Amino acid sequence: MARPDSDQTGEFLLRSDPGDPALSTEVSGLDQNGQPVTTRVVTEKPLTLFLNRQEIVTMMTIGDHPDLLAVGYLLNQKMLRPDDKITAVDHDRELDVIVVRTARETDYEAKLQKKVRTSGCAQGTVFGDVMDSFDGTRLAPGAVLRISWLYALTHKINTAPSLYLEAGAIHGCVLCEADRPLVYMEDVGRHNAVDKIAGWMFLNHVAGADKIFYTTGRLTSEMVIKTVMMGIPILVSRSGFTAWGVDLARKAGLTLIGRARGKRFIALAGEERIVFDGDPDEAVEDTPRQRRKSAGKDDA
């Protein structure tokens, strides 16, 4: 199932393509002065996921990388095991259906009855027994976050072409290693963007112990749980925190950094991993355009 993904810009191994006409469309309207205006808006479509013969969920998504989204969702909901063999991923574009097939027989009827709607947009869902696995997860104690890496990452990510800059109304998540962003996924729900990255990691046999996870959205309980489930020890956002997100991060030993904009950031968990090797005076401050980009997502 592994595939040699690559991004033509050379900066990322894989990313959502802001130039893909299927991911956004032009819509006409009026501006504040009553003048005609045309703007781009992101697409949103349903995708119904089956695991073998069982229907699991219908997700609202922009529609790119459905295989990664499906596999990542099942992983983060503990419906796929780390040692499961995926025999096929079949996507029917006309029916908006995707089927993940495994060598192991699966039946999650009881599990599907117990779920919690999260604070994520597009009605994110976490099934109850995920917390049981969360409680037993231990993250890599030797992982570090150098401030010089953080400054480099935020600059590279904030200046990269994105669907947000094309059309707005979207979240982004980035898998990073040291000061290099690897995979940049976007979607209407932050949980979908996370799941796409989880699917990419599983299908390409990429471990999370030495990785950094960056998100544009709030550091909620859902974001913390999914990051821990992927085995990633460091979670960074340019947005803010929720109290439960902070509590869970401290419980799991996750390094949690928010409001990371330009030379500024706040760490509320896992501070022992931070290596202060960067000079804040040398950090590149956000441009007015990047500050507007950050502000637009802070409460999303």
pLDDT tens digit string along 146-156?
999 999 999 99
Q: How far apart are CA 240 and CA 265, in angstroms?
A: 10
Any domain includes 190: yes
- The answer to whether position 118 is within a domain reads no
Residue in the structure block whose two tokens are 């992983």 = 75
Kindly report, residue by residue over 18-34, the tens digit of the pLDDT.
989 999 999 999 999 99
Integer Cα distance of 12 and 112 in angstroms: 36
- pLDDT given for residue 228 in this prediction: 94
Question: What is the phi-psi region of residue 279: left when phi exceeds 0, alpha when psi lies from -120 to 50, beta otherwise?
Answer: beta
Residues 6+ positions from 193 with CB-CB distance below 8 Å: 171, 172, 173, 185, 186, 187, 215
How many distinct structural domains can be found in the chain?
1
> What's 195's domain CATH number?
3.40.140.10
Considering the domain boundaries, does residue 84 fall inside one? no
Q: What is the tens place of the pLDDT at every residue in 203-233? A: 999 999 999 999 999 999 989 999 999 999 9
pTM of the predicted structure, to 2 decimals: 0.86
Supply the pLDDT for residue 138: 82
Res. 5 pLDDT band, cuts 50 70 90 = very low
For residue 201, give its domain range.
Answer: 145-297
pLDDT tens digits, 112-137: 876 654 444 444 555 556 667 777 77
C-beta separation of 248 from 225 below 8 A: yes
- Is 186 part of any domain? yes
On whether residue 239 sits in a domain, the answer given is yes
Is residue 99 a part of any domain in this protein? no
Q: Would residue 132 count as lying in a domain?
A: no
- Which tokens hold the place of 17? 């393509």
